[in-house]
Chains A and B, each alone.
Chain A
Amino acid sequence: MNTIFALAGVVIKDLYRRKDFYVLFVLTALLTLLAGSTTFFEDKRISGYLKELCLALIWLATLVIALTTAARQIPAERESRTIFPLLAKPVTRWQVVVGKFLGSWLAVGVAVITFYLFLGAVTAARDHSWPVAQYFQAAWLHWMMLGVVVAMAMLGSVLFSAPSVNVTISFIVVGGILMVGQHLHKVALRLTEPAQTLLTLLYFCIPHLEWAFNYRDLLLFEQPLISWGVMAGATGYWIAYMFAFLIAAWLVFRRKSLSVG
């Protein structure tokens, strides 16, 4: 466990010593501030619309942070050859995969918390109410869902040699799931066999990331809280996917010859 945390610590140090991370961070914070604090609009519909825009921004920013951070980890270790002194220590490749995953996921978590706190504070200043529990649930679901994204990008990073290819493909897959994931089985019904069975199977296999996306409604329309049982269930569901992707990543990485010639 110590090794995994040590590895995660290095990921986080790397991130906060890089400048590109700050650019994205500052940019989104600025946009949120701009959109969230607009008081010219008395109309409830418009301020709701602005809030939705802010949330969309937060989603986009966290997805970009998650994907680019996770996709870079193992390829960067190989490219800079830091993997050699590392694996020459009694470190297993499973620990490398999990440590890198954990570091990226925690870093993304910091971004999520910051963004939600920011949005909450900005809207609370205007509406004089802060539904803390709703924010917590929305942020939690968001973070859990990003865990799956990070794990998926880790798998991609050992499958594809170029990080840019991995980021692009992961982005398309995640975007695809967010947009059409929940409709796949309905689409399937209109198809002929075997496409119907295949698509239905796919529907049951993919991690339903859009589920967390839909719970933005918690914040947008001040919906009642999700029951904590359902929260726990959703958490378990996504953790299962994280494990599945990490195990797959390890199975690929384990057999990789690491010589650079």
Chain B
Amino acid sequence: MSVIVKTERLRVEYPNRESRNGPKVALAGLDLQVNAGEVFGFLGPNGAGKTTTMNVLLGFVPPSSGTASLFGIDVRQPIARQRIGYLPENTYYYKFLTAEELLRFYARIFGLNGAEADKRIAELLKLVELEHAGKRQIKTYSKGMQQRVGLAQALINNPELLILDEPTSGLDPLGRMKVRQIIQRLKAEGKTVFFSSHELGEVETVCDRVAIVRQGELRVQGRVSDLVQQHNCDLEKIFLKIVGYEINALP
């Protein structure tokens, strides 16, 4: 079983100009491991450090200490990103391009040109159900449509690993279900999916394993089925317990 995503004692500090308490610690020595073929749910309350972890994996933010690697390649090397797809937390794309143009642009970066690219773009637009809007500029899209363009661009290179930051946020129930189906389909194709979410029910149904972080530290990591058995309650209750709510206070 090969390891796809690995972080070791990963620490990230953001400079903090306003406060005298020194830098803001976003990650405090995080150890994470995602294996090939897994759907891995990355959970934690707001500000726990989920996006920061992904930012490190994608090379946007340098680690203050510790290491991070994708496919065994240090994330500081751009080649580590050859086989991944990424959906940012909030989607932002070139608004003046059409979805087709945007996807063609990203395809070119992966050396995909001409008929091959056209075929891939048509497939993806169909997958995310935007085939009728492909020739419209992205600025005319609704939020959910932009989110789906985001998913399409993340899949342009037929990646081995998908890093999705809250892929279902802003989608309607049908849209969420579609995203779940896409994730399950990717899993069936043998891809690895690493995603963050606040939708615990959803996570429970699609994930093999989860990690829960809090204040930049890993609190729990394990198989969903094991955790549920061990704690004898559902994922939502486990989550609440871990982030510090009094479980007895719950109805």
**Residues of A at under 8 Å CB distance from B?**
2-3, 5-6, 9-10, 13-14, 17-18, 80-82, 84-85, 87-92, 257-259, 261
Contact = CB atoms under 8 A, between A and B. Distances in A.
Given A82-B93, A90-B79, A259 B60 contact: yes
B209 to A, nearest CB: 23
Interface of B: 14, 52, 55, 58-62, 78-79, 81-82, 84, 86-88, 90, 92-97, 101, 105-106, 108-111, 113, 150, 153-154, 157, 163
Contacts, number: 79
B96 A17 contact: yes
B216 to A, nearest CB: 14
Nearest to B101: A13
B150 A85 contact: yes
Contacts of B94: 10, 14, 80, 82
B109 A89 contact: yes
Given A82-B92, A82-B93, A257-B60, A90 B108 contact: no
Given A84-B60, A259-B61, A90 B101 contact: no
13 contacts: A2-B108, A3-B108, A6-B109, A17-B96, A84-B86, A85-B106, A88-B86, A89-B106, A90-B79, A90-B82, A258-B60, A258-B61, A259-B55
B14 A259 contact: yes
Contact of B81 (A5, A18, A90, A261): A90
A13 B81 CA distance: 26
Contact of A6 (B82, B84, B86, B108): B108
Contact of B111 (A2, A84, A87, A88): A2
A84 B109 contact: no
Contacts of B113: 2
A2 B111 CA distance: 7
A87 B54 CA distance: 13
Given A2-B109, A6-B109, A259-B61, A81 B90 contact: yes
B105 A10 contact: yes
A47 to B, nearest CB: 42
Contacts of A9: 105
Contacts of A89: 81, 106, 109-110, 157
